[in-house]
Amino acid sequence: MIDPSHRLARIDASLDSHAGLAVVGPWRAGKRDVVQRLSQDWGGLRVHWFDGLMPADVARLREPEATLGPLAGVVVLNEVSLSRELAGVVGRLLARRPCPARFVIVASTSACELGRIDDLAPGALAWEWYDGLACWEVGAENPQRLWLRGGLPGSYEAASDHESLRCRREVAALLLPRAADLMIDRSDITRLRSVWGQIALLHGDVWNASEIARRVRASDYAVGYDLTTLADAFAVRVLKAWRQLGVSKRQVSAPRVYVRDSGLLHAMLGIQTLEQLLEHGAAGASWRGFVIGQVIALLHAAPSESFYWRTHAGAELDLLIVRGQRRWGFAVQHAQRPRITRSMRRVMADLQLDRLHVVHAGAESLDLDERIRAVALADLHKEVAS
């Protein structure tokens, strides 16, 4: 049974303290369903729905000031294309004091127009990065299934692995045209498909634009543009490199790139069952990307707070969350019995971490050292406090 209560409470609290809320994440991740479920608890507030897939709603929003200005209660813009005019109107309406209407924007792209709303109404918009189902929502007995099938509800809840794979292949096929809509020249979708395929093959590697460009026979600039497009469509996760001041070692500056949803990654690699996944050479990298996504979701970490760290000498941290003066460090091991490595010792010293969590595939959480804690994925929610 899926239990989204933790996330629902967090989203509801965000809307209580802000005039607006942006719920952003991959297509078909369940964002609309979550907002619909929340709307049932908004008491006497009137909820006004505008759906970007409904021609009548799109037509009404061609005059956004006249349509949205008089409304009170909660206004939901679900997958609505945010033109500069519409974004400007929403920003100005959110900046009103008092604000008679709260806005919930559900989007499958991290388009710059959302940033325009933030500029016009600073601090009015809360953000919820929603990647789909999380391990603490599906139950402690199901993390392997979630890893294999990914967080898209249609894939996770499918009756069989075969049906789940069919669902994910359908999403992958339809996701690229949606991503291409963000491009200046939509005819570049063939190259975009090739770049996404290469990212799947090199899942979790440090980004090397020249190598990708050579493989797809394009320029470094073109594949960099494609990476930005795929990231904006939530098809990939770009994890920036952290730069630690005062460390004499040479530090890697290029980002690591992951296919954002583990289920889509496995569909792209032709993996259908858990047995096939465990025997595949990409299992370790897949597990690392999956766990990183789970931790980011648990800590509600924005892209600007999420990093990895690596030196040319070999010291490396899979995930570093930086929020103000606080830091969380995570190493990921696809092992039943995690162990301390020399790299962990160097990371603790160089990054001045108070504590390091080693998230692993086993069943037991235990202290490996005074400041290093092995955390089973099933225990992540109760072990790692936000």
As given in the structure block, the two tokens for residue 70 are: 């008089």
Question: How does pLDDT run across 272-285, given as a tens digit for each residue?
Answer: 999 999 999 999 99
Query: Residue 223: what pLDDT?
Result: 96
> Between residues 42 and 323, which one has the greater pLDDT?
323
Element (H, E) at 35: helix 31-39
Determine the structural domain holding residue 286 and report its residue range: 135-383
Q: Determine which of 170-184, 315-329, 331-345 has the lowest per-residue pLDDT on average.
A: 170-184
Average pLDDT score, the chain: 91
The pLDDT value recorded for residue 83 is 82
Question: 47-65: per-residue pLDDT in tens?
Answer: 999 999 899 999 999 999 9
* pTM for the predicted model, two decimal places: 0.93
If asked whether residues 379 and 263 sit together in one domain, one would say yes
The predicted structure's pLDDT at residue 44: 75
Distance CA 38, CA 148 (A): 28
Contact in structure between 262 and 292 (CB atoms under 8 Å): no
- Residue 106: its H or E element: strand 101-107
Lowest-pLDDT choice from 88-92, 118-122, 262-266: 118-122
Cis peptide before 122 (omega within 30 of 0): no
Task: Tell me what the mean pLDDT of segment 337-346 comes to.
Answer: 93
- 6 vs 315: which has the higher pLDDT: 315
Whether residues 205 and 274 fall in one domain: yes
| DSSP designation for 322 | E
Q: Based on the domain organization, do 182 and 208 belong to the same domain?
A: yes
Per-residue confidence at 386, pLDDT binned at 50, 70, 90?
A: low
Given 109, 129, 149, which residue is the final one in a domain? 129
**Domain end (from 129, 147, 166):** 129
- For strands 236-241 and 20-24, give the pairing: unpaired
pLDDT above 80 for 110: no
Distance CA(188)–CA(195), nearest Å, equals 11
Any idea what the Cα angle at residue 27 is, between residues 173 and 54, rounded to 5°? Answer: 100
pLDDT tens column, 352-383: 998 999 999 999 999 999 999 999 999 999 89
Query: Which pLDDT score, from 0 to 100, does residue 123 have?
Result: 86
In this predicted structure, the answer to whether residue 350 has a pLDDT above a threshold of 80 is yes
State residue 354's pLDDT score.
87
Res 111: pLDDT: 63
**For position 82, what pLDDT does the model report?**
81
Name which residue leads in pLDDT, 385 or 233: 233
Residues 140 and 101 both lie in one domain: no
Are residues 101 and 139 both part of a single domain? Answer: no
- Judge if 107 and 79 occupy the same domain: yes
Q: Are residues 281 and 184 in the same domain?
A: yes
204-256 pLDDT, tens digit per residue, is 999 999 999 999 999 999 999 999 999 999 999 999 999 998 887 899 999 99
Residue 302 and residue 198 in one domain: yes
Residue range 135-159, pLDDT digits in tens: 988 876 678 999 999 999 999 999 9
Same structural domain, 289 and 182: yes
Q: Which is more confident, 23 or 16? A: 23
- Is the CB of residue 318 less than 8 Å from the CB of residue 205? no
Short-list 19, 5, 26, CA closest to 94: 19
**Rounded mean pLDDT, 10-16:** 83
The string of DSSP letters for 157-179 reads T-SSHHHHHHHHHHHHHHHHHHH
Instruction: Pick the last residue of a domain from 129, 146, 176.
Output: 129
> What's the CATH number where 105 sits?
3.40.50.300
Question: Cα(first)–Cα(last) distance of the chain, in Å?
Answer: 24
Task: Clarify whether residues 178 and 203 are in a common domain.
Answer: yes
Torsion sign across C-alpha atoms 90, 94, 95, 99: positive
User: Is 150 found in the same domain as 122?
Assistant: no
Which pLDDT score is estimated for 112?
A: 64
- Given a cut of 80, whether residue 331 has pLDDT beyond it is yes
43-46 long-range Cβ contacts below 8 angstroms, 24+ apart: 45/73, 45/74, 46/72, 46/73, 46/74
The pLDDT-based confidence of 40 (bands split at 50, 70, 90) is: confident
| 3-state DSSP assignment of residue 316 | strand
Pairing of strands 236-241, 256-259: antiparallel
Q: Are residues 88 and 139 in the same domain?
A: no
Q: How many domains does the chain have?
A: 2
